[in-house]
Structure 1
Amino acid sequence: MFQYRSVLAQIRRGASDRELARSHAMGRRKLAEFRALAAMQGWLDAEAPLPDEAQIAAALEPAKQAASTVSSLESHRQRIQEWLEQSVPATAILAALKRNHGYPGSYSSLYRMIVSIRGETPPAATVPLAFAPGEAAQVDFGAGPKLLHPDGSVRRTWAFVMTLCFSRHQYVEFVWDQTVATWLGCHRRAFEWFTAVPRRLVIDNAKCAISKACIHDPVVQRAYAECAEGWGFRIDPCPPGDAPKKGIVEAGVKFVKMNFLPLREFRDLADLNAQACGWVMNEAGQRVHGTTRQKPLTLFELDRAHMLELPAVAPDLGTWHRVTVHRDCHVAHERALYSVPFTLVGKTLWLRATDTAVFVYHEHQLVATHRRAQRPGERVSVRDHLPPEAQLFFAHDRAWCLQQAREIGTACAELIEQMLTDRILERLRAAQGVLRMRDTYGAERLEAACARALLHASPFYRTVKTILAGGYDRQPLSVAELGHVHAPGARFVRSAQLLFDPDAPRH
């Protein structure tokens, strides 16, 4: 109070607020408030005596409450208010006060303090959103029951719910996941269910729809943007953390959980969706809605009249994925492999997958098109995508080798056939090597070399190459070769009787 009295004396002597602020006696805002209080109390009159500190304190401090009216939790008011802002339950607050601060009071005292704090906080004002017929629909996922998956495990199902904002008519479908492909498929089936397309879809910021949530510039999934363009609707994502913006579908999901799922049994996913379809048409669509006070199916006729018509040809929806080209000239998608040109090995590409086909793009250029693989692990390849040496190897298969050998001659065909029918060793490369010798030595010399190798019962690549390199194919066959030296036949000069007879003459 001495400081206030000193400042008041300087004010009465004509000191300005700026001078007092520069002297650090008091801040300018506080000075303005104190000057107004002094003027109201009549303290600025220089002829009147200065008020004492007690008078100044009485004018500054609020009136004290009686001790009996002050809550024992008054010292914890700020702490309790912060916990309430964090949505901490009252029972947890009472336990924390007793545990950490030694509070001996009861829950009733805490309850009165909470009522007092909330009474001082003005309630947030809300404005219900109104929608014209056909203007918008709201979409969301909700947890469904657990069912037996086709792979044998028990999995959680998810309810896809699209609710028309004007009529409150719904489309409900239960699915196994929330992937982009499932999201797009549910949209297509919902539009076919309504036989029309809403002009705007209010959605949450799910990853299957929005890549980056933002209140001003959200980034839409590429596949979902194509879906909106194909069907003609506009995407309206809610601001992050502002679920009431799509309260209609939030209530619709809750209605499905509370009114459809309880006290029902489902054999499988198909049975679950069949029951959901009947429930929407026979129960949910025929009830009097609590907000519109009319039946959703009755208002739906007006809703559908203002919605967009279905396109003549349904858009071919696909999902986009970033993929990297492996060293084997293939990219992987859903555990299946698809070939791309070998010049793109190591690069990152974009893959677009539809229900029937896969398209691969590099810098906005289509580089590969494949049919969709039917099972995980399947390899879908185009031979032209492989390196030249690999193309040659796969092109020169067994059938090709036999065909080329027949064009060269009968001896070459017989030698190649013996090589390819080896029961122990795979000799396709050796057969290809023998046929490549035609480019160096010509078909006539290769045929002669194969004939000589067959006479020696040696159908090997090394034998044919040695004959050609040494020019032996140009030499006439000797008597020993003509007699099939290495061929099956008489192998011994003496007979068995002469060989084992001890009295036979020895030479």
Structure 2
Amino acid sequence: MSRPHTAMRKIRDVLRLSLGEGLSLRQVGASLQIPVTTAGDYVRRAKNAGLPWPLPDDLDDDALESMLFGSPEPAPTQVRPMPDWAKIHLELRRPHVTRLLLWYEYKEAFSNGLGYSQFCEHYRRFASKVDVVMRQKHKAGERLYVDFSGGKLPIYNKTRKETVSKAELFVAALGVSGLIYAEALPSQELMYWIDVHVRTFEFLHGTPQLLISDNLRSGVTRSHRYEPEINATYQEMATHYGVAVLPARVFRPKDKSKAESSVLLAERWILARLRNERFTSIAEANLAIQDLVEWINNRPFKVLPGSRRSVFEEIDRPALRPLPEIPYEFAIWKTQRVNIDYHIEVRADRHFYSVPYSLVKEKVEIRLSAKTVEIYYKSKRVASHLRSSVRFGYSTDPSHMPEPHRRHLEWTPQRILSWAQKTGPMTQEMVQAVMDNRAHPEQGYRACLGILRLGKSYGTDRLEAACKRALLIHSYSYRSIESILKTGLDSKELPQAVPQRTHPHHKNIRGPRYYS
């Protein structure tokens, strides 16, 4: 069968640029947008045929084709051994495997087999039937798609009559094998989102190179086509496992087609099959989901040989990266400015943790895990504490305390007492009492400044009266003063004599001499 006129013209251009202009095969291929190997094949055939350049004027296309390619291809009735296209399709998913390599191996086995161009054409037709929707090319162990199902799983009360909640269905799928992992979760909150990734990696016995996620709030703080902002905890988890997070682009459905097809699979073969079940807990539901996940992964493909599980074991799993020795521990990241008492507050616990005194008024990042509180400044960890559940307590590292010669020495007990004196003697005595009753006076700075600020809201006379009442009942705290002012107790009459203040005996409690 003769080649089209356009194909022969392309061959003449190859010979012109190579034999006439002296361009390299790479330059010829780039110029004419054809593979370098194809250009080389045309030039080799021309040299073997002894064709001169320029070509004779009377050499038409038919004659040129005959000299380059010899006699026509065998008649259609001649049987040629055909490759196993399903196997070829899977082999191409392996790292570094190309169609040219597979064609060479095929020709070694069948010398009378298809030419390379026919080989590629036949494979293209096969692949178009297999990948009707998903045309992305995946590499073994490269991508893991994660998403939540649109449908939810109802959870019932103990009598199995009333719905008490609806569980989210998390679905993950590998790019090549399509192996899926699914799990019911209480919600899409960050903690559940992170923990289910850890269990997914354990299910796979390894990690991929890329995590392709939809623009969920759990994973992406701010969606953007070119520079999406990844949640700090999600990014930290990915870094722990050596994985890169690649959010799907907004309004680009092809970016997440594997995830969506896997979600559809889970909805049809998990949610639909469990539609008549009534689970009383998420744990009970997950037992049933695990069985269905195994069934899906072991179910034979319709066109390709094997199953998701068999292809995973053969192709994906060997390409996955090993798991780290220690699983990721969930942690939340917060940003906060250091108070003048060189402590930051974990508001969830109402507890205060120290940082180096030089960071007063600086913005720091706080990493909160179940057991520890770590503080970072410019990506460097500057403090670490065991997490405490003592409300309104202080965890202070002595090394964080200020030295007399440091630049923040301006924040001293004497200075705060001087400010309090301007309001009145009762306020000054209250401020001194607050610092006296702290292991370190710096721990009372925050409360003292809060008390002084109350004078701006309620006036100095009322603040003096409130401090006088608080001293009488030995309640030395900001909250006590604030409560007295809010309830108007400062206007109530007090006994004439105010008892002398006494302090508990403790080696860390400083008396008035400390400030003189």
TM-score (norm. length: structure 2): 0.47
Greater length-normalized contact order (CA 8 Å, ≥ 6 residues apart): 2
Larger Rg: 1
